[in-house]
Amino acid sequence: MKNTLKIDKLSKSFGKIKAVQNLDLEVIPGQVYGILGPNGSGKTTTLGMILDVVSPDSGNFQWFEGMPNIEARKQIGSILETPCFLPYLTAVKNLEIVAHIKKSNKDRIEDVLKQVGLYERRNDKFKTYSLGMKQRLSIGAALLSDPPVLILDEPTNGLDPQGIAEVRQLIVDIASQGKTILIASHLLDEVQKVCTHFCVLKQGVKIHEGAVSDTLGEINKVEVKSENNVALIKLLEKFEGTEKIENGGSSFNITLKAGFNAKHINEYCFSNGIILQKLNTHTNSLEKEFLKILKDHD
């Protein structure tokens, strides 16, 4: 499969501080790739280098199998810092200015505002927006040219819980359209909920890389129990979302196929006349795995 991005031995120092050291990275089309690490681990510096904002000391990177960087940048929407929207202008007027600067088609403004959930507030001034709305407008600005790649640096930083949920859902929705997304974050929960793949940086060095699902193991497992477990097991064997059934004594642990969850099992059992007495979702935590990864590289 062709690469969207390939990084080879990329390094950058600021005086005595080695921000990024010999970084190798590969992002495949359609991935939501998280660069995870504590503050100061080299995440933003890495994004700056692949966007030609920061000059690397050594190493190289390639976009789209060697496309010239000037052309590649036209295929990338990015937010490294919060864009400077004019507070006294509406969302529409601000995006018109962005479109003019980027030489993007203004005809996409209405569609973009609908995509980021701001269409109903399109004629309200930017200064009246919540922090979450402002961040969604920033993402909308990055989407104006309909780029196949989106780069986000700490997209939920500083937001309240509602704003975080809104931005995360927007990222998931954008990814479902087939776009490749690269996210730098220090939030474990964020990477676990939106990313398909991730790497961990520690003091500029990559210490782990892989698929989120592989790192967490079987995260799609549900424990179920009913008054009639014999009938329950026969029913679950016919359920299209069942990957594997394990007998846990008084209950069963069901590993589900991708796209299925506890809600689907509950609805399926209820519609077939079985009321579940127990329905527990078992999930592994990226936090535990992250701490283990850091400990292994002390």
Question: Taking residues 253-275, what's their average pLDDT?
Answer: 87
- DSSP assignments along 241-296, one per residue: TEEEEEE-SSSEEEEEPTT--HHHHHHHHHHTT--EEEEEEE---HHHHHHHHHHH
Per-residue pLDDT band at 293 (split at 50, 70, 90)? confident
pLDDT for the residue numbered 187 = 84
Residue 142 reports pLDDT greater than 70: yes
Q: Are 146 and 109 in contact (CB under 8 A)?
A: no
Residue 219 reports pLDDT greater than 60: no
User: Who's near 220: CB < 8 A, 6+ residues apart?
Assistant: 243, 255, 256, 257, 258, 260, 261
CA-wise closest residue to 200 among 295, 131, 132: 295
Strand-strand pairing, 205-211 and 242-247: unpaired
Question: What are the domain boundaries of the chain?
Answer: 5-215, 220-282
pLDDT for the residue numbered 217 = 60
Per-residue pLDDT band at 263 (split at 50, 70, 90)? confident
pLDDT: which is higher, 279 or 50: 50
pLDDT for the residue numbered 32 = 95
pLDDT for the residue numbered 214 = 75
pLDDT in tens, 25-47: 999 999 999 999 888 899 999 99
Q: Which fold has domain 220-282?
A: Alpha-Beta Plaits (3.30.70)
pLDDT for the residue numbered 285 = 67
pLDDT for the residue numbered 252 = 86
Per-residue pLDDT band at 90 (split at 50, 70, 90)? very high
Residue 258 reports pLDDT greater than 80: no
Residue 234 reports pLDDT greater than 80: yes
pLDDT in tens, 183-211: 999 888 888 889 999 999 999 999 989 88
Range with the poorest average pLDDT among 12-21, 26-35, 289-298: 289-298
Q: Which fold has domain 5-215?
A: Rossmann fold (3.40.50)
71/141 Cα distance (integer angstroms): 19
Question: Taking residues 71-77, what's their average pLDDT?
Answer: 91
38/218 Cα distance (integer angstroms): 26
pLDDT for the residue numbered 241 = 87
The distance in angstroms from the start CA to the end CA of the chain is: 34
pLDDT for the residue numbered 182 = 96
Residue 132 reports pLDDT greater than 80: yes
Residue 24 reports pLDDT greater than 80: yes
Q: How many CB atoms lie within 10 A of CB 166?
A: 20
Name the average pLDDT for the chain: 89
36/290 Cα distance (integer angstroms): 9
Q: Return the residue matching tokens 């479109």.
A: 99
